[in-house]
Amino acid sequence: MEEPINVTDGAFERVVLGAALPVVAAFWSRVEESAAPLRQVLATAARQYASQVRVVALEAEDAPQTRARFGVDSLPQFLFFRNGRLVARARGLPTIEGLRPWVEFLLGQGPPPTPAASPTTTSAAHPLTVTDADFGRLVLEAPGPALVDFWAAWCGPCRMLAPTIERLASTFAGRARVAKLDVDANPLTAQRYGVQSIPTLIIFKNGQEVDRLVGVQPERVIRERLEEHL
């Protein structure tokens, strides 16, 4: 395919997660100044890697569910998929030269790019924000394990734990979903799972709670508990 494929929520599973080739997926907005140069970068990438990767574009207004599903919190943003799994993420608008190391990593031809190699981007994933309304879809129906941080803005221990949750989201990108749920804004889910103190971390798999940690925990402990369910 020598042209980028425009993808909506309805086509995402088939075109991206079901693709035989690795996929470069770019989330963008037609109202941003970066729209025109971004489309040029995608067109160039589609031509250069036509037989090796699939290049797709997701306009933010056309793919709101997919954007929420993968925690795309800024635009433009690039997600890189291999065998239907998210393996890397880059924020910002790269040149084609800036995009090349990411594609080489996606193809197994190079190491994961570092922020120093591409200063406008980062490979780190971020926790997904979930709510009462989308908890079932984003957590219970997740294709793998999901770690949910039940927290609140006024909670000091929650703020202490936040950097750990950020690092875990990056560590487990493409292997497990890491999410945050504000218990003040979303009391129904917190009540449903009997969350009485925060922070509480609950690990879900196949729609069921499989583990729980209460209070601030060492990153090593949380990581080991989540790895048990991969």
* Gap between the Cα atoms of 140 and 143, Å rounded: 9
Domain boundary among 72, 106, 140: 106
CATH number of the domain residue 137 falls in: 3.40.30.10
Does a structural domain hold residue 149? yes
Single out the catalytic residue among 16, 19, 25, 155.
155
Of 85, 49, 66, the residue nearest 6 (C-alpha): 66
Torsion sign across C-alpha atoms 127, 132, 134, 140: positive
The predicted structure's pLDDT at residue 92: 79
**Tens of pLDDT along 157-193?**
999 999 899 889 888 877 889 999 999 989 999 999 9
In the block, residue with structure tokens 């000091």 = 156
Rounded to two decimals, the pTM is 0.53
Residues 85 and 141 in one domain: no
Residues 23 and 98 in one domain: yes
**Tens of pLDDT along 40-84?**
999 999 999 999 999 999 998 899 989 888 888 778 889 999 999
**Active-site residue, 158 included:** yes
Residues 137 and 194 in one domain: yes
Single out the catalytic residue among 158, 161, 169, 176.
158
Give the helix/strand (H/E) hosting 54.
Answer: strand 54-59
